[in-house]
A and B are shown apart, each in its own frame.
Chain A
Amino acid sequence: MIRALFSAASGMNAQQTNVENIANNIANANTAGFKARRAQFQDLLYQNLIQPGAAATQQTTVPTGLQLGLGTRAVSNEIIFTQGDFSETDNPLDLVIQGNGFFQVQTPSGQIAYTKAGTFHLNQTGQVVDPNGNLLDPPITVPQNALSLTIGSDGTVSYTLPGQAAAQQAGQIQLANFANPSGLNSLGQSLFQQTEASGAPIIGPPGGQDGLGTLMQGYVEQSNVSIVQEFVNLIVSQRAYEANSKVVKAADDMYQQVNNLKQ
């Protein structure tokens, strides 16, 4: 009976986690390069009151046992790395990765972080930085007087200077990929950090042999959150929460009646 109360409570907890996850997805529906997360649940341990396969008599065994489950728990919310929609911005430093891979940026602490949001800018010294001012890694510098900036699908950055016909190369953008991108750690600000689970980064030029995607200049990758999907999940989650709260009520009523037996 206490089992029913705790199972229902674990169900309510799990649905609360689900709603929190959905809320974060919806809140980031307009965040460039955001990847939705999906909560995963598992059943907990079972109490074996009668073990299946136990001997019922000398000759026979119990074909199915009596197992009472103890509820559920949220086990993970994995990142869904599907491609988001592309929207045209005409900003020469807005980049989209078509396929696998992450841009590498250097955080103030000197560590490398990874991002799908390719909205870059130039800082006061002409270096390519992300919206938080983190330097693109490997660093690329564009002179202040550069006229046009072109980034090829293989990540080659070139520019023209006034009075010069030939384009100058500023460098090549390198992408990183992971064996298990779902194992990356979200740092916030659209940045990810490598973990033991994700494995070491596989670094290479866009479109190369390492299975990395190609770059497209002048576009931004939108969030891959599907609002319709999230709302459907929200409704399901809310109803599941309600059903679990009814179990709590039913168990409470039963207890009350047991207590009323003694007059």
Chain B
Amino acid sequence: MDQISVLAAAGMQARMQSLDLVANNLANSSTGGFKTDGEFYTLFTSEAAGEDASGPSSVPMIQRQWTDFTQGLLEPTNNPLDFGLSGKGFFVVQGPSGPLYTRNGNFRFTTGGALVTSEGYPLLQQGGQPFHANTAQPLAVSREGEITQNGGSLGHVEIANFENPAGLTKYGANYFSNTTGQDPVEATGTEIYQGKIETSNVSASHGAVRIVGLSRQFEMMQKAITLSNDMSKQAIEQVAKV
């Protein structure tokens, strides 16, 4: 194949993956605690590129995605078991195979009085233990994360932060898992707001602009391939005319 078609086809492939990301962002515009994904483009350069200077030997591709961890809006829900995080960090919950991290602070009681997520994973306090509350009594959470009931303290909510949150893997169901092996650190200055929930930080307008941009770029590359085809056709049919 000729160079133009290879380049443009790689570009189209990458734009399709970009649209996949945008689609997932927009689909999650109502998911509590969801963080927008973006992507980094890079040039794939073949090893022979340095020696052979006869033409372009690199093609565009998506190297990796990044997650935008900016704060979402804190929406009041009036549910005393909704906790909104203001600042950096994640709630730590006990997942089926080790701790999971989430910013979706929608909790509920189990019949035994533990605070759990909608999957039933218990919220952990500092020291790694779940909370045990009396479900019949109202529960208060201070900005600093101390849960009190009837004036007695039940413990502090663990809020974990990471040096490199970009290394967290999205686990699905609003959770992140720590796959790069970095140690979580205690978040400082992060506040908990009771009765509020952090909304998704997806910007619908940004998504719409991305769609327009991706569609037009895709169209241009499609035109480039058509043009390249036409040139080859002309070369074959006209130049080689005997």
Contact = CB atoms under 8 A, between A and B. Distances in A.
Main secondary structure of the interface of A (DSSP, over half): mixed
A52 B108 contact: no
Contact of B30 (A5, A72, A78): A72
B188 interface: no
Nearest to A71: B27
Interface stretch (A56-64, A107-115, A125-133, A145-153): A56-64
B174 interface: yes
Contact of B109 (A42, A52, A75, A179): A179
B34 A43 contact: yes
Nearest to A8: B23
A253 B218 CA distance: 10
Contacts, number: 212
A246 B63 contact: no
A187 interface: no
Nearest to A39: B30
Interface residues of B, number: 67
Interface string B144-188: 000000000000000000001011111111100001110000000
A258 B106 CA distance: 43
Q: Is the interface of B mostly helix, strand, loop or mixed?
A: mixed
B241 interface: no
Interface stretch (B9-17, B52-60, B92-100): B9-17
A53 B167 contact: yes
B67 to A, nearest CB: 8
Interface stretch (A90-98, A156-164, A234-242): A234-242
Contacts of A155: none
Contacts of A178: 135
Given A80-B77, A257-B218, A8 B26 contact: yes
B24 interface: yes
Contacts of A183: 108
Interface in A28-59: 38-46, 48, 50-53
Contact of B211 (A3, A76, A247, A263): A247
Nearest to A211: B136
Interface of A: 1, 3-5, 7-8, 10-11, 14-15, 18, 38-46, 48, 50-53, 61-72, 75-76, 78, 80, 82, 100, 177-180, 182-183, 197-200, 202, 210-212, 236-237, 239-240, 243-244, 246-247, 250-251, 253-254, 257-258, 260-261, 263
